[in-house]
Chain A
Amino acid sequence: MTLPLNSEIIFHTPGFRGYKTDEHNNQTAVEEFVSVSVTGTTCALHCEHCDTKVLRGMTDLRRFDGSLYDVCESLAENGTRGVLISGGSDLQGRVPLLPHIADLKRVRRDLGLAVRVHVGLPDEETCAALGEIDLDGAMIDVIGHRDTIREVYHLAADPEDYEDALSWLEKYKVPMVPHIILGLHYGKMLGEDRALEMILRHPPKLLALVVLMSISKTAMANVTPPSLDEIGAFFQKARKGLPSTPVMLGCARPMGKMKVEIDRLAVDAGLNGIAFPANGIVEYARAAGLRPQFVNACCGVNW
C-alpha cells in the first residue's frame, strides 16, 4: 500500500448531492458548496454517457430572475462558501462562461466565495479571461483519444485540442483541475494513458480520476465499466506520475458494491482524497493509518 503525501486523506462531499452515511453527513443547515448551471439543462453535445443528465440537480441560472452575481449573492447571504459554475457545452465544446466573467470577478472579490468552473474544451479567449478571476480551479475533462472525442462527445476535435487548452490554462495561470474519466469509451480504456501524459506536461493543481458511471436513459445505460484491475492499475500509474501533486477520486463512479471496491483501491494506491466515499471507507482509511478530514466541497477546495 502506498500512503499519500502526508498520511491524511480528505473526503469531499459537495452539496449538489445529498450524502449521509454512518461516517459523515453533509446535510447541514447551510449548503456550503453549490453548483450553478449557466445553461440550465441545455447542452449542444448530448454526449453518449451523459445526455445532459448530470446538469439536473444544479441550480439553473435561467430560472433565476437576475445575473450570476445575483444568484451567488443570494447563496452567500444564506451561508454558502463556494460555487461550482457549470453548464452544458456549445457545439465547439465550450461551456459559455465568457458572458459571466465580470460577474465571477465580483463573486470572488466582493463575496469572497471560492469559485470553481467547468470549462468544457475552452478556447484561448476564455482561458485568458479565467486568468483574471482568482479561481480556485478550472475543471476540464481531458480526453486522450480522437475516437472518444468524436463518438462519445460528438465533438469535432482531437486530443491536441485538449493539450492546447491545458497550455492556455497554464499560460494564463489558471489553477487546473483536470479530470480523467476511466472507461469513457463505452467502458473500455482507450485514451486514458495519453490524457495522463498530456496532464503531466502541464502541472495541475490536482488531478481528479473518475470512472464511467452508467446513467439510465443514455446511450451508455448498460455499459460495463473497466475492470477493477484496470482501475487499480491506473490509480497506481497516476500516483506514480504525480508523486507530489494531489490525486483524488472524484464524484462519478459506479455505485453499490463496485464503488466500495474502487474506493478501497483508491486508498490502497495512496490517492489523497475521495468524493462521496462508500460507507465504511473512512474506517478503512483509518485502519490504513490515514487521518480522515471532511470538506463539503469539490475535490481540493479548502476553505
Chain B
Amino acid sequence: MSNTQEFKIGADLYSIPADRFYGRDNHMWASHDNITGNVTIGMDSLGLASLGDLAYVSLQPVGTKVTRGESLGTLEAAKMTGDLTSPISGEIVERNDLTVRNPALVNQETYTNGWLVVIKPSDWENESAQLVSVDELPAWVDSELTRYRQQGWID
C-alpha cells in the first residue's frame, strides 16, 4: 500500500495521504497522535477541489465540545457557504488561527499547516472505526471521484 493515494482532476494532480483517517461524506481528515491521544482535523484535497478557493474560515473556540457530524466552524468558498462538520466527537483543545487569518492556507498546505483544529476525542475507538481507513482508501477515493463527477462538482 502506497503511503499516498494520488488522483487527477483535469490536469491537476492531488493526493490523499494514507497516514490518517477520512470522513466518509464530509471529506475532513483526522490524524491521531498516539502519544497525546489527540486528533488533528483538516479538510482533504478532494473536498477542497469541489469547493474551490476558501475565502473565509471561522472556528469554534478552544474548550468547545463538538459532536461527530456537527459544526466545528464555518467556511465560505467559491462553491459553498456552510458548516465545517466534525468527523469525531470531543473537545477542541487547539485551533489554527493561521487558517482563520489566511484561509488560502487550507488549499495550499492541506495536510500540514492548513489544519483546522485539534480535538481531544471522547470516543476515538468507536468513531474512528466509522471513518475511512488506509485499507479502504483506494476504493473510497475511486467511488468519491465517480460521485463528484456525476454531480458535476469536478471535471
Residues of the A chain whose Cβ atoms lie less than 8 Å from the Cβ of B154: 56
Is B81 among interface residues, defined by CB-CB distance under 8 A?
Answer: yes
Which of A18, A59, A256 is close to B79, meaning CB atoms less than 8 Å apart?
A: A18
Question: What is the bound-complex CA distance between A254 and B55, given in angstroms?
Answer: 9
State the CA gap A213–B79 with chains docked (Å).
12
Asked if B129 is at the interface of the complex by the 8 Å CB criterion, the answer is: no
Q: Are A256 and B155 in contact (CB under 8 A)?
A: no
Choose among A58, A213, A255 the residue with the greatest number of B CB atoms under 10 Å from its CB: A255
Per-position 1/0 for A6-50, Cβ under 8 A of B = 000000000001111100000100000000010011000000000
Residue of A nearest to B78 (CB): A215
> Are A276 and B78 in touch, CB under 8 angstroms?
no
A18:B82 contact, CB within 8 angstroms = yes
Number of CB contacts from chain A to chain B under 8 A: 60
Q: Which residues from chain B contact A215 at a C-beta distance below 8 Å?
A: 52-53, 78
A24 and chain B: residue at smallest CB distance: B81
A56 and B81 contact, CB distance less than 8 A: no
Partner of B81, one of A18, A40, A59: A18
Would you give the shortest CB distance from A29 to chain B, in whole angstroms? 16
Q: What separation, in Å, do the CA atoms of A6 and B155 have in the docked complex?
A: 43
Chain A residues whose C-beta falls within 8 Å of the C-beta of B53 in the assembled complex: 215-216
Q: Which residues of B contact A63 (CB under 8 A)?
A: 149-150, 152
Main secondary structure of the interface of A (DSSP, over half): loop
Task: Indicate if B14 sits at the interface (CB-CB under 8 A).
Answer: no
Q: Is A141 an interface residue (CB 8 A)?
A: no
Q: How far is the CA of A183 from the CA of B55 in the complex (A)?
A: 19
User: Which residues of chain B come closer than 8 Å to A257, judged between CB atoms?
Assistant: 56
A60 within 8 A of B: yes
A79 within 8 A of B: no
Within the complex, the shortest CB–CB distance from B48 to chain A, in Å, comes to 11
User: In whole angstroms, how far apart are the Cα atoms of A17 and B103 in the complex?
Assistant: 19
- Considering the complex, give the chain B residue whose CB is closest to the CB of A64: B150
Closest chain B residue, CB of each to CB of A27: B82
Q: Which residues of A contact B74 (CB under 8 A)?
A: 21, 279
Q: Within 8 Å CB of B79, what residues of A?
A: 17-18, 56-57
In the complex the two chains form, what is the Cα distance from A215 to B55 in whole Å? Answer: 11
Q: Are the C-beta atoms of A56 and B153 separated by less than 8 Å?
A: yes
Residues of B within 8 A of A (CB): 52-53, 55-56, 74, 76-83, 103, 107, 149-150, 152-155
4 shortest interchain CB distances as A-B pairs: A255-B55, A18-B80, A20-B82, A256-B55
- A selection of 15 A-B contacts at a CB cut-off of 8 Å is A17-B81, A19-B80, A20-B83, A21-B82, A27-B82, A40-B152, A53-B78, A56-B79, A56-B152, A56-B154, A57-B153, A255-B55, A255-B56, A256-B55, A259-B76
